[in-house]
A and B are shown apart, each in its own frame.
Chain A
Amino acid sequence: MKKPLLSLMNINKYYGDFQALKDISFDIYQGEFLTLLGPSGCGKTTLLRCIAGLEEINSGDILLNGQSIKDLAPNKRNINTVFQNYALFPHLNVYDNIAYGPRVKKSMTEEQLKIEVQRVLELVQMIDYEKRMPDQLSGGQRQRIAIARALINQPAILLLDEPLGALDLKLRKHMQTELSQLQKKTGTTFVYVTHDQDEALNMSDRIIVIDQGVIQQLGSPREIYNNPKNLFVTEFIGDRNILEVEVLETGTDATKVKLGQNELTVTNSVESDKIQAGGLGILAVHKDKMQVSCDPQPNSIKAEVVSVHYAGSQIRIDVQVADLSLTVVEYRTACPCKEGDQVYLTWIDGGAILLPLEGQVNQEERGLA
């Protein structure tokens, strides 16, 4: 059994009456890239700030290498943060910004410091920028300096709070690659906060999906993407059609469900064993894993085409089944359908998952809250 680097144990955090974090527990292991993913206001940044020591927790404990750090001030924790807006010191140049940590901690001589600053500048590919002031740098460059400034302290964990949020799309893609490479090169444990599912899926070893201050699911990108555990994760990750179905018959390999007039057999997914016959379930199918056929197909959904949109390489077809709307994204269509046509929808194997409806109840509660 691997020993965790950082353990969060039953963390609760309140702002007045509002509970920002509810009983959060998980472990972080040495060298991993862990992402906290969730919509804005879900508590992911609060959680990060609790780990950094910038917020106090109301109950629970945080262990770093087995030692409780919950009562330590941020400067006493061997954890550093890269802030969303970089938070470079505007009155100090790049060199002095990076040298700030070792200088206030008096952990290095000026000669050592010179070597170390060079080392981290090389890591982030910003050599020769030492004398620049922060306002003479572009967003991406500031980002790198902020990372270098944190890395010089050789933290046990580097926390990154939506570090790519302020960059444009192209630079963001580039920095994603660069950050992953940097993480592998330094072997530093990264805890990364984002609301962008692509970023999370691309970069992480593990993802924790958070909503309403509660961990919704924890797993590898593949697990999260292919087998979302509940309705929230299903809706938040990936682009799916989410359909409420009647459950006719459960089985070990597949479940029979009814959608409108269509009877369908769905291969069981991870959560399907929680489904009961006679009840309701959620059928979720990736929009780009569905196919439209003009002729009747086995195990298909009969639908009416509402509209067809051509979007360059892909074709988006909006259809209607009973009173439900679906969207199918195809890259080349076998069926040149048009508005009002009858079509038959199938999905590629493994494209659909079946969930119990209990998530729906939570969803309604969320709506009321």
Chain B
Amino acid sequence: MKSKTNRFGIFYLSLFFVILYLPILSVVLYSFNASPSTAKWTGFTLDWYRQLFRDRVIGEAFAISIQVAILTAIFSAVLGTAAAMVSLMVTTKMKQTIQRMMLLPLLVPEVALGVSLLIFFNALKLPFGHLTLVLSHSLFCVPYVYIMVLLRLQEIDRSIIESARDLGATKWQAFYTIILPLIMPSIVTSSLLAIAMSLDDVVISTYMSGPTSTTLPVHIFSMMRVGVTPKVNALCTLILVGTFFIIGLNQYISKISKNRGLSK
């Protein structure tokens, strides 16, 4: 009886994962298809990748995406960590308020958020480009940094910080020498997440891009208007590889930091 349910469970799970990952796999597969049509498989080729690397517009869009993503990650890391530190010092009620306010941008539909940002930056007369992209991406990246750093901060035994002060450290010394090293893994992993999310964003980036600052996803989106070309498949495959790399790195860092764990 038990083995039967078990077998059913395995079957169900396999089916689930096949359905989940089959589309992703097909993109990878067709990026190597000699035929430009997705209807049939005519042979293996790396042509689409060659074409992709020769495409200057895609190259530029990619460079912009990377720049924006890295700047967003740094900016969100600083803001999110500072916010987490503050909410550790205030009362519980205050902390809950901060937490709710932080999470709100994640719940507002991106389309609405994009429009409001558009109006706001217009009113401020900010030129649309790198700056607006970084600011708007930070809006949805800061909450992630905040949450992940706060979780780690809460794990730190208060007496560890008190003991640093007791042994002679000023508030700043205690922060640099004790708190920062202990929360660093969370800052790094959440920054990686911020990079991934910034690279991935289409909706808000569409509103925020200036004439000379089209990000890669926005560019892909515009390429799709002409139809799915195998070049897009190749590009998506590379993006997938990049994303998996970031996720892997993320897992690896959190594993190391767990091993180095916070002893109780």
Interface residues of A (CB under 8 A from B): 52-54, 73-75, 79-81, 83-85, 87-91, 100-102, 104-105, 107, 133-135, 149-150, 153
Contact = CB atoms under 8 A, between A and B. Distances in A.
B165 A54 contact: yes
Interface in B227-264: 260-264
A87 B260 CA distance: 16
**Which of B164, B170, B177, B263 has the most chain A CB atoms closer than 10 A to its own CB?**
B263
B178 interface: yes
Interface stretch (B43-51, B78-86, B103-111, B155-163): B155-163
Contacts of B263: 88, 90, 134-135
Nearest to A79: B166
Contacts of A73: 165, 170
Nearest to B260: A91
Contacts of B162: 54, 74, 81, 83, 87
B169 interface: yes
Nearest to B158: A87
Contacts of B164: 89, 100, 104
Given A52-B166, A83-B162, A87-B160, 8 more contacts: A54-B166, A83-B159, A87-B162, A89-B163, A89-B164, A90-B263, A104-B164, A104-B173
Interface in B197-215: none
Interface residues of B, number: 22
A87 B262 contact: no
27 contacts: A53-B166, A54-B162, A73-B170, A74-B162, A74-B165, A74-B166, A75-B165, A75-B167, A75-B169, A81-B162, A81-B163, A87-B157, A87-B159, A87-B160, A87-B163, A90-B160, A90-B182, A90-B263, A100-B164, A100-B169, A101-B167, A104-B168, A104-B177, A135-B261, A135-B263, A149-B167, A150-B167
B181 interface: yes
Give 4 closest A-B pairs by Cβ, nearest first: A87-B163, A101-B167, A87-B159, A105-B168
A153 to B, nearest CB: 7
Interface string B158-196: 011011111111100100011001100000000000000
A85 to B, nearest CB: 6
A89 B160 contact: yes
**Which of B160, B165, B166 has the most chain A CB atoms closer than 10 A to its own CB?**
B166
Contact of A85 (B159, B177, B181): B159
A80 B166 CA distance: 6
A100 B262 CA distance: 18
Nearest to B161: A87
A7 B170 CA distance: 25
Nearest to A49: B162
Contacts of B168: 75, 101-102, 104-105, 107, 153
B62 to A, nearest CB: 37
Contacts of B177: 100, 104
B181 to A, nearest CB: 5
Nearest to A101: B167
Contacts of A135: 261, 263
A211 to B, nearest CB: 25
B52 to A, nearest CB: 44
**Which of B160, B181, B262 has the most chain A CB atoms closer than 10 A to its own CB?**
B160
Contacts of A88: 160, 263
Contacts of A134: 263
**Which of B159, B165, B168, B264 has the most chain A CB atoms closer than 10 A to its own CB?**
B168
Interface in B102-139: none
A138 to B, nearest CB: 12
B135 to A, nearest CB: 34
A231 B149 CA distance: 51
Contacts of A149: 167
Given A87-B162, A90-B182, A104 B167 contact: yes
Nearest to B181: A91
A304 to B, nearest CB: 52
A104 B261 CA distance: 24
Contacts of A107: 168
Contacts of B167: 75, 80, 100-101, 104, 149-150, 153
Contacts of B260: 90-91, 133
Contacts of A87: 157, 159-160, 162-163
B182 A91 contact: yes
A112 B177 CA distance: 21
A149 B178 CA distance: 15
A232 B42 CA distance: 93
B169 A104 contact: yes
A75 B170 CA distance: 6
A124 B230 CA distance: 70
A178 to B, nearest CB: 21
